[in-house]
Amino acid sequence: MTFRPRILVPLVALATLALSACAASPGPEITGSGQCTAAPLAWAVGKPADEATMRALLKQSGAGLINPIGPETITSRDHRPDRLRVYIDKDNIITSVQCG
């Protein structure tokens, strides 16, 4: 196999493009402690899990992370006080909201 310098330039450009896609985007701005509180979120059960509802849940919970969980989603048992888990059925309807 012979080394071809002409191939090197497109490969470097492709690698640079691929790595730039890995750059972290800023997360949500957390106001307050970042601790999740699910008590005021009962209104969401039965609502569609659309973007507006999920944004409202994240804001009202005070959580730093929202984790939508569908019927086939496998979850871990780790506890994170800054995470809101939103359980969604097969029809994209919210069935439960829990912190942790």
Interval 4-24 mean pLDDT = 55
Show the tokens assigned to 66. 């929202």
Radius of gyration of the CA atoms of the chain, in A: 20
Q: Is the pLDDT of residue 73 over 80?
A: yes
The whole-chain average pLDDT of the chain stands at: 81
- Residue 47 to residue 62: CA distance in whole angstroms: 20
Q: State the pTM of this model.
A: 0.67
pLDDT score for 34: 79
Q: How many residues does the chain have?
A: 100
Q: What is the CATH number of domain 32-99?
A: 3.30.10.10
Question: Which among 23, 20, 2, 22 is positioned nearest to 12, based on CA atoms?
Answer: 20
Domain ranges of the chain: 32-99
Q: Is the pLDDT of residue 23 over 70?
A: no
